[in-house]
Structure 1
Amino acid sequence: MSGSYYIALSGLNAAQSGLDVVSQNISNASTPGYVRERLNLSNLVAPTTGAGEGVMTQSISLVSSAFLTNSLNSTSAQQGYATSLSQVLSTAQSFLNEPSSSGISTQLANFWSAFDGVANSPTQLAPRQQLVSQAQNLAQTFNQLAQNYVDLFNSTVASVGTKLQSVNSMLSQVATLNTQIVAAGPASSNTLVDQRNQLVGDLATSIGATVQNQPNGSVNLLVGGVMLVQDGVSSTLSVSSPTAPPVPTTSSVTVISSQGGVSVPLTQGTVGGLLQTLNFSLPEYSTSLDKVAASLASTVNNQLSAGSSYPNNGSTPQSGVPMFVFGGSGSTGALNLQINPTIVSDPYSIAAAGNPPQGNADGSNAQAMAELGTLSSGPDALYRAMVGGIGLDVSNSNSLLSSAQVAYQNSYQQFQSVSGVNTNQQLVDMLNYQQGYQAAAKVISTVSSSIQSLMQAV
């Protein structure tokens, strides 16, 4: 009879453990990073007789797939990369403000058209003042657009620094959890492993970290072959960048690891997307804008130098002076594009006449200036190519983001199908454990009644 007691008691304990596991799963059905737990039971058999001696709770394991977990982390890294890339490029495109009445395309058209006004009335001050005003507006728009790219570059560098602070905290936490998991052993570390899995997933999203599982239960984290977490030791990451303006034209923004001071090749995750814009996209856009500004200045100034002006609307012709100059550091960049103060103070310094001049009523050179906007390799064409290139980059980044989101959702669903909590299935398991508990209790009650009947019979 005592054997039956112990067999029923083992069943009672196993059912209780099962109810505890089900309760844990249902309670954490919506907990980020939680991996479903499973009760593992084993049959107890007497070593000498082979008779059954009940059931034993062998372990409570996490239901996971290394393949699906790695796939989820990989697609999460791709989604993080595409998201940050799309956001920065879309911001860069929004600065162009194209098409609009205030964009550079329209201002260039108005600028060339203003030369027509001068050509038609070269002795009148108003058309020349209008031309100077259009030129000033155009230069200021170039300045502002260039400054916007400088500000976007600096703010993106700051974003990398902020994200790395969060990354460093997570790396440290993973190292601490490694130590705790190894000390607790596999039988008591499920909650700690869940916490670590959540951090590892976040690190995959942020920097594209990959995992090496170790036999002792700890994990190593790497990015591009650089070890960031090994057992209980973690690295600290920092961003190294030159100061803009101007926007650097080389791949000069890097992430440095405190372990050996090596550069970490971040090409995935949110930070990887930001580095892509800092080292390639934004420098390319700034360089393209500088080329447009330089082309505008050289195209206009060269044509003006081929004409003649009549300063103060006088009768003595003089050689044409440049309209556009570069201030600041002297760089021919869009940030420093300015109007020649001589032309601002005396619009009659604009070389509207030809060479040789036909008097101050000659507007032949101004008419030639008005046609410069149609040049196949002039500033208008360069600017259209720049706008088209940025638009294509944004379109490609949006397509990349869409495909990355689909890939992540597919990986997430596959992961959840194995490791996620299905509450309907848990309710079925709960009923099974409840019935098992009741049956074991019934066995104990029956055995107890039998013993009492035998004692009464004696």
Structure 2
Amino acid sequence: MNLVNIGLSGLNANRVALDVTAQNVSNVNTDGYTRQQAMMATVGGVKDDNLDPGAGVKVSNIRRVTDQFLVKQMWSTKSSSSYASHYTTNMSQMENTLGADGFSISAGLDSLYAALHDATSKPESVPLRQQIRNESEAIARRFNTLTQALYSQHKDMHDQRNAAVANANTLLINIADVNKQIAETSGTGGNPAQLLDKRDNLIHQLSELVEIKTSDQHDGTTQVTLVSGQPLVIGGEYGTLRAVPRDDDSYLAQMEVDFDKQTFAVPNALGGGLGAINDYQNEVLKPYMNALDDMAAGLADMFNGELAKGLDLNRQKGTPLFKYDPAHPSQSLDITDITPEQLALSGDGNPGNSDVLAKLITLSNRPVGVGRFGNMSLNDAFTAIVGETAIRGRQAESDYQAKNAMDEQAVAARDNISAVNSDEEAANLMTFSKAHDANMKVISTANRLFDTVLQLF
């Protein structure tokens, strides 16, 4: 009987709808899960019978409730938020380093010039000369320790980049593999919903490392490229990100992508966590290290130059106070084995004459070329570095707060469409259960009618 068939179709369709609802409910706390809907369509009846109401209902497909625009927006905001998070963390570390008392070049310079001032009262005093030597060694140590701290952070950035590149390459392999599975499942008429969720989650993780662009293909696969266009994943094929150490500094790197036997150079504007590492090293860390080198060399050269013009307590020509390796001035700055008596503070050899000492004191205001900060005194140069760090730190924190808020909004917008709503699914359970029971009654009614007909014979 047609009544039985119609009832059975309704029974089967609502059973599928209940299964879909159960799947949604069971994944209510699954991160990145996209809810599904059973899409029902009526089944047509006999074409040439105007009294045929139809043949029931069927589930035409199971729909994955998603908006790819919102998903891609979420990937974009994740890249921006990750970049800002990494950058502000690094700036905060730099600010804390420069603000530490033991790393303050300004404090060291003040102590050195205070010792020089003290010596003007009695230039021939060996203890006062020893104090000059001690403070000279102390300022050298400040340069050494601060440079070592920045060098350690520089190395840490290098290690973080290598770890991020390795993580990104693993994600590329996995995305390409899921692309293959999606194409195969879609090609055989299967439901790739779980695979699509998995791929979205993998791409979301990748967007945290680098800024990407995606393009959906007809076979269900997604093509992934860097925002600057270099290919990362095409169908089931994947590329490899590489960080190539630079010749001038092995802790800096030029990024490249190897894909299908071709190598593509990648600009520094990577976005995401990797972009933050590159930008921080190139815009902040390395320039500050270079500035410290200029300052250390400038300090040594100025002092040694003035001392060379004077005579020591033994009327001998002045010898250098500082020494350094020209390749790494700040890291290697040290004092020579000069004795207090050998400090050439007099222009004519008279122990009470302090004309050279007076010139040493005036060095506190002498401008020195300090990298991108231009020509200024050493004290002003360090103050400029500290001030710039504070400004950059505030800007980075403000940028992070804004970008993080945008990311949270993007996630909320995606979840509003795609996440499981417990109340909605509870209502669906009631609706489909009642429909299932109603179709059971239809079948029961059909059986009763059939029994009645049989009793007529």
- Report the TM-score when normalising by structure 1: 0.90
Distance in 1 separating the partners of 2:190 and 2:63 = 8
Unaligned residue ranges in structure 2 (runs of 5+): 368-375
SS of equivalent to 1:220: strand
1:391 is matched with which residue? 390
Distance in 2 separating the partners of 1:306 and 1:9 = 108
1:233 is matched with which residue? 237
Q: Structure 1 residue 336 and structure 2 residue 314: aligned? A: no
2:144 is matched with which residue? 143
Taking the TM superposition and a 5 Å limit, the aligned residue runs for 1:176-325 are 176-185=177-186, 187-223=190-226, 224-242=228-246, 252-259=253-260, 260-265=262-267, 266-310=269-313, 314=314, 317-325=315-323
1:372 is matched with which residue? 363
Distance in 1 separating the partners of 2:412 and 2:119 = 68
Alignment CA distance shift 1:155-1:243 (3 Å): farther
Distance in 1 separating the partners of 2:302 and 2:93 = 30
Conserved in 2, the CA contact under 8 Å of 1:171 and 1:229?
Answer: yes
Shifted more, 80-89 versus 187-196: the winner is: 80-89
Query: Which whole-Å deviations, capped at 9, do the CAs of 1:284-338 have from their partners, x for residues lacking one?
Result: 111121122122223323333444321xxx4xx23333322213xx336311212
Quick one: which amino acid aligns to residue 22 of structure 2? S
Query: Which whole-Å deviations, capped at 9, do the CAs of 1:180-203 have from their partners, x for residues lacking one?
Result: 111111642111111111111111
Quick one: which amino acid aligns to residue 15 of structure 1? N
2:8 is matched with which residue? 9
2:120 is matched with which residue? 119
Alignment CA distance shift 1:127-1:386 (3 Å): same
Q: CA deviation at 1:258?
A: 4.8
Distance in 2 separating the partners of 1:177 and 1:365 = 75
Distance in 1 separating the partners of 2:81 and 2:409 = 12
Distance in 2 separating the partners of 1:255 and 1:146 = 30
Query: Which whole-Å deviations, capped at 9, do the CAs of 1:217-251 have from their partners, x for residues lacking one?
Result: 01111012111111111112221114787876xxx
Conserved in 2, the CA contact under 8 Å of 1:326 and 1:336?
Answer: yes
2:409 is matched with which residue? 410
Query: Which whole-Å deviations, capped at 9, do the CAs of 1:3-23 have from their partners, x for residues lacking one?
Result: 111111111111111111111
Shifted more, 124-133 versus 195-204: the winner is: 124-133
Conserved in 1, the CA contact under 8 Å of 2:103 and 2:146?
Answer: no
Conserved in 1, the CA contact under 8 Å of 2:245 and 2:251?
Answer: no
Q: CA deviation at 1:29?
A: 2.0
- CA RMSD in angstroms comes to 2.2
Conserved in 1, the CA contact under 8 Å of 2:300 and 2:322?
Answer: yes
Q: CA deviation at 1:371?
A: 4.5
Conserved in 1, the CA contact under 8 Å of 2:232 and 2:257?
Answer: no
Q: CA deviation at 1:129?
A: 1.8
2:340 is matched with which residue? 347
Q: CA deviation at 1:413?
A: 0.9
Distance in 1 separating the partners of 2:61 and 2:284 = 53
Q: Structure 1 residue 361 and structure 2 residue 352: aligned? A: yes
Shifted more, 13-22 versus 292-301: the winner is: 292-301
SS of equivalent to 1:83: helix
Quick one: which amino acid aligns to residue 166 of structure 1? N
Q: Structure 1 residue 85 and structure 2 residue 87: aligned? A: yes
Identity %: 23
Alignment CA distance shift 1:385-1:246 (3 Å): farther
Conserved in 2, the CA contact under 8 Å of 1:235 and 1:258?
Answer: yes
Distance in 2 separating the partners of 1:366 and 1:427 = 87
Q: CA deviation at 1:393?
A: 2.1
Quick one: which amino acid aligns to residue 116 of structure 1? H
Unaligned residue ranges in structure 1 (runs of 5+): none
Alignment CA distance shift 1:258-1:349 (3 Å): farther
Quick one: which amino acid aligns to residue 427 of structure 2? V
Quick one: which amino acid aligns to residue 286 of structure 1? M
Alignment CA distance shift 1:128-1:245 (3 Å): farther
Distance in 2 separating the partners of 1:24 and 1:183 = 23
Conserved in 1, the CA contact under 8 Å of 2:300 and 2:323?
Answer: yes
2:18 is matched with which residue? 19
Query: Which whole-Å deviations, capped at 9, do the CAs of 1:203-226 have from their partners, x for residues lacking one?
Result: 111111221100110111101211
Distance in 2 separating the partners of 1:154 and 1:218 = 38
Distance in 2 separating the partners of 1:457 and 1:134 = 120
Distance in 1 separating the partners of 2:342 and 2:147 = 28
Distance in 2 separating the partners of 1:243 and 1:155 = 19
Quick one: which amino acid aligns to residue 353 of structure 2? D
Count of matched residue positions in the alignment of Structure 1 and Structure 2: 441
